[in-house]
Chain A
Amino acid sequence: AQKITQTQPGMFVQEKEAVTLDCTYDTSDPSYGLFWYKQPSSGEMIFLIYQGSYDQQNATEGRYSLNFQKARKSANLVISASQLGDSAMYFCAMRENTNAGKSTFGDGTTLTVKP
């Protein structure tokens, strides 16, 4: 079974609107970390936000927030007030305590922000 599932290959959003990118994960490890990365067309992956499995509150970083629903094993990324520069590929990733050196990535979601 895939450990990270991103079901939206492509998403469109109007500039200044909010958008949610879905991510579900599968692990039996009670201790894990969840990440979102952005990959613009230039290719370099950029870290956006992190959520630990034991964190009580949803993570936020500026316009990015993570909607963490532990029981559902979902970690959706919410981007508020979308900007044209947000157009990129977005990857959800997980690190498990049993092998913290090995991050597992989803297949990504391509987000296009329309003016």
Chain B
Amino acid sequence: GAGVSQSPSNKVTEKGKDVELRCDPISGHTALYWYRQSLGQGLEFLIYFQGNSAPDKSGLPSDRFSAERTGGSVSTLTIQRTQQEDSAVYLCASSLVTSLNEKLFFGSGTQLSVL
């Protein structure tokens, strides 16, 4: 497709389980970003990838969170031993490059519910 694709759109899991969220960016976009949005709140930066450079992981809230980007394209955000406070919408975005004037293209998000 032409846009950023995220899967699954919804994920319900039990506390303590691991989850994987997938993001397929727009073809040709070198930059990929993960954000978290809690109910009715703004976006919290998690991590971004730019080309082959080391990712900026400064927003990951704990070591239970990790992300990788394979082949400069698809990215997976993994949350280990999920907690109820991890419940949120996880948004992925991509852009051509990371420069000041580059707008972000967002996916529709993954709604994660931890019971």
Contact = CB atoms under 8 A, between A and B. Distances in A.
Contact of B106 (A44, A50, A52, A108): A44
Given A31-B100, A50-B101, A108-B42, A43 B89 contact: yes
A47 B45 contact: no
B25 interface: no
Contacts of A46: 106
A106 B42 contact: yes
B42 A107 contact: yes
Given A44-B106, A45-B93, A91-B43, A103 B100 contact: no
Nearest to B43: A105
Nearest to B107: A44
Contact of B108 (A35, A43, A93, A97): A43
Give the bracket for the number of chain A residues in contact with chain B: 20 to 34
Contacts of B89: 43
Nearest to A2: B42
Nearest to A54: B100
Given A50-B101, A52-B100, A102 B42 contact: no
Given A47-B104, A50-B103, A102 B43 contact: no
Interface string A37-54: 100001111110010100
B98 interface: yes
Interface of B: 31, 33, 35, 40-43, 45, 48, 50, 56, 58-59, 89, 91, 93, 98-109
Smallest CB-CB A-B distances: 5 pairs: A45-B106, A33-B100, A101-B98, A47-B103, A105-B43
5 contacts: A33-B101, A47-B104, A101-B33, A107-B42, A108-B41
